[in-house]
Amino acid sequence: MASVTMRGVRKDYGPLNILRDIDLDVADQEFITLVGPSGCGKSTLLRMIAGLETISGGDISIGSDRVNDMPPMHRDVAMVFQSYALYPHMTVAGNISFGLRLRRVVAEKIAVAVASAAAVLNLGQLLERRPGQLSGGQRQRVAMGRAMVRNPRLFLFDEPLSNLDAKLRVQMRAEIKALHRRLGSTSIYVTHDQVEAMTMADRIIVMNQGCIEQQGTPETLYDRPASLFVAGFIGSPSMNLIPGTLQNGRLVLADGATLPFPASAAQEGQAVTLGIRPEHIRPQPGGLAADVVDVEPTGVDTLILCRFSGVQVIASVRDRFRALPGTPIALAFDEDKLHAFDTATGKTLRQ
Amino acid sequence: MKGHQRLRWERALDSEAIWPLMAGFGALYLAFFVGYPVIYNLIMSVQQVTLGNISTVFRPFVGLDNYRKLVDDPLFATVFQNTLIFVTGNVALQFLGGLALALFFQAAFPGAAFFRGMILAGWILPPLVIGAVWKWLLASDNGVINYALRGLGIVSGPIYWLSDPATSLIGVTFANVWFGVPFNMILLAAGLAGLPQDMYEAAALDGAGPVRRFFALTLPMLQPTIYALLALTTIYTMRAFDLIWTMTHGGPVDSSNIFPVWSYHLSFELFDFGGGAAVSTMMLVVVFIVALIYVRSVRTERVS
């Protein structure tokens, strides 16, 4: 088990700057997720921790070792790949035990380790099969087993669930969490799926364009997004973002209509953006006049797409709701759940 | 009308009922260009063929006399041994050289593609040209190789590479290895390119160094390619003729004589056409067995 420290980590591909000045601390036994849109550098950062990519600048330490120039084989980390990266010519048992055999662990100990991993991951029946004969979910579990048996000081996950179907993904999500609770190993988990990030992590690192945008517990990111990017990225359906100008403490839209705006650091006349989550908008007689654009029942909630003053918002309600497109609707905003952002910088104006 | 006709044509080409036509063309081609010469050669090998009766098909039947004469010939043992050395030497060295080059060019360094292309150039040259070039390289008085060996102080006097019976087989083997290495390199490079890269990354994280990764992953994963390649190289080497003919004519005193050269020598220099045909037939049997192994290995490659 070990902590991970990154100081001013950079990655350049020629003139292209992929990661710039990443400072990040991962505590021992912590489970963090790196989340962000594709191309934000999260996988590159993970591969740099693993030693599969060179580090252009800054330092990465695992425990007390600076690992910048340490080859992957000496870092004592295990990684679960999106493609699973199993050894096609070895059996499941061979795949799981490869790392132990390389370390010349005695055969009896290997057998015990493989058997216990197989029991945890429900692979007992498959030990003599080859990867080509397994389903995606089974391969994924073999990849997990291969990482587990070595008992590494750090687990790295590179979008391990993105090739699985939705049901299996939910199941494996729980299994990975349970595994982490049992082994207590420090884990860094990369995903582009914010639901995965929210449900699994002790702490989420949101990345955007090679920088850390915000980090914190899932609740912090959801309740107090530091920027428009995080506000839009975390949460599904995402936060409604309504741009306008601040006048007399209210948001003025293009056509002169006004909306409530929270107390903030914004100046009078400043271009600001109002953020409100769909669950904080509800239909209420006497409220803001709008038209229904569409209604999407999800089973649990019903999403109501509405339009007013050239702005489209989504409201999410618990109760069943039916209306034809074009029906007038009156909306009310929860005024203590509003978010204020500076439109120009994208940063929060929360005081 | 025209469009309608073309539609019918295309439907006919797409239909399964056209198979006898397709198979017919294939069979006709094989029968004419492969079956006919092979069978004709087989017939000649059990006949007494002279310059006088070469133009007829019905010649005196002599049974296995031609074969018996060959095996009793004191030259048979020499040619057999030479062929064995030439073929095993070529297969082993071409494979090792090709593998080394394929692994070398896997590293992406500036100019890698260019240099790989230059190495391939050796393979597209006619064997006749390669033979001539190597003859000059190995020339005893003013050859580059002797010059280099002497310059480096490895030998004191010139080595008579192609005119000394002790070294002529080594000389032609080198030349043929040089000729065959690019082909081995391409097939192995293609095999290497097909191996999943992430598997190597996983192995590196599992604690495998480069040497270990080669023996635990690369070699077993390349196995089908390697079997196919060894079979192909064996077949190609057993047919080597023009290169040796250019360099040594199989000499001096048959020291670099192998079966194809012997066959040519019998047929077209001694006009013992039956003997030459018998040598060809024996070679055909060996090549056929190797080809069978090749076909089998290709089939398992497709299955796995």
Q: Is A191 helix (H, G, I), strand (E, B) or coil?
A: strand
pLDDT band at B293 (very low <50, low <70, confident <90, very high): confident
CATH superfamily of A4-229: P-loop containing nucleotide triphosphate hydrolases (3.40.50.300)
User: What pLDDT was estimated at residue B5?
Assistant: 63
Lowest mean pLDDT among A207-211, A330-334, B135-139: B135-139
pLDDT > 70: what percent of chain B? 96
Lowest mean pLDDT among A102-111, B150-159, B205-214: B150-159
User: What pLDDT was estimated at residue B253?
Assistant: 83
User: What pLDDT was estimated at residue B3?
Assistant: 55
In sequence order, what E strands does chain A have?
4-13, 16-26, 31-35, 57-62, 65-66, 77-80, 154-158, 186-191, 203-208, 211-216, 240-247, 250-252, 258-260, 271-276, 281-297, 302-308, 311-317, 328-333, 339-342
Residue B42 neighbours by CB distance under 10 Å: 14
User: What pLDDT was estimated at residue B6?
Assistant: 66
Mark yes or no for CB contact B204/A146 under 8 Å: no
For residue A204 the two structure tokens come to 């989420």
Q: CA-to-CA distance for A315 and A283, rounded, in angstroms?
A: 8
User: What pLDDT was estimated at residue A49?
Assistant: 93
Mark yes or no for CB contact A85/B212 under 8 Å: no
pLDDT > 70: what percent of chain A? 100
* pLDDT (tens digit per residue) in B138-164: 887 788 888 888 888 787 777 788 888
CA A147 to chain CA mean position, Å: 21
Residue B302 has pLDDT above 70, yes or no: no
User: What pLDDT was estimated at residue B208?
Assistant: 86
Determine contact: B72 vs chain A, CB below 8 A. Answer: no
* pLDDT (tens digit per residue) in A217-243: 999 999 999 999 999 999 888 999 999
Instruction: Report, as an integer, the average pLDDT of A57-72.
Output: 90
* Of residues B198, B209, B304, nearest to A73 (C-beta): B209
Chain B residues in contact with A75 (beta carbon < 8 A):
205
Tell me the average pLDDT of chain A: 90
For residue A72 the two structure tokens come to 């992957």
* pLDDT (tens digit per residue) in A136-166: 888 988 998 999 888 888 999 999 888 888 8
pTM: 0.79
- The partner residues of B61 in beta bridges, in order of sequence, read B47
Instruction: Report, as an integer, the average pLDDT of B220-239.
Output: 89
Query: Over the Cα atoms of chain B, what is R_g?
Result: 25
Instruction: Report, as an integer, the average pLDDT of A110-131.
Output: 89
Mark yes or no for CB contact A87/B202 under 8 Å: yes
Chain B residues in contact with A77 (beta carbon < 8 A):
205
AA identity, residue B80? F
User: What pLDDT was estimated at residue A156?
Assistant: 94
Q: Where in chain A is the domain with CATH 3.40.50.300?
A: 4-229
AA identity, residue B283? M
* pLDDT (tens digit per residue) in B72-110: 888 888 999 999 999 999 999 999 999 999 999 888 788
Residue B301 has pLDDT above 70, yes or no: no
Q: CA-to-CA distance for A81 and A140, rounded, in angstroms?
A: 9
* pLDDT (tens digit per residue) in B159-209: 788 888 888 888 899 989 999 999 999 999 999 988 988 899 999 998 888
Domain boundaries, chain B: 64-303
Which residue would you say has higher pLDDT here, A7 or B300? A7
Determine contact: B219 vs chain A, CB below 8 A. Answer: no
The chain A residue lying nearest B211, using CA atoms, is: A102
Q: What number is the ipTM of this complex?
A: 0.81
User: What pLDDT was estimated at residue B242?
Assistant: 87
* Of residues B196, B208, B304, nearest to A102 (C-beta): B208
Q: Which CATH architecture has domain B64-303?
A: Orthogonal Bundle (1.10)
Sign of CA dihedral A197, A201, A207, A213: positive
Contacts with A3 (C-beta within 8 Å, 6 or more apart), sequence order = A25, A26, A27, A28, A30, A62, A63, A186
User: What pLDDT was estimated at residue B56?
Assistant: 78
User: What pLDDT was estimated at residue B121?
Assistant: 83
Q: CA-to-CA distance for A289 and B159, rounded, in angstroms?
A: 102
Q: CA-to-CA distance for A144 and A164, rounded, in angstroms?
A: 14
Domain A239-342 fold is OB fold (Dihydrolipoamide Acetyltransferase, E2P) (2.40.50)
Residue pairs spanning A and B at CB distance below 8 A: 64
* Of residues A78, A88, A89, nearest to B205 (C-beta): A78
pLDDT band at B55 (very low <50, low <70, confident <90, very high): confident
User: What pLDDT was estimated at residue B304?
Assistant: 44
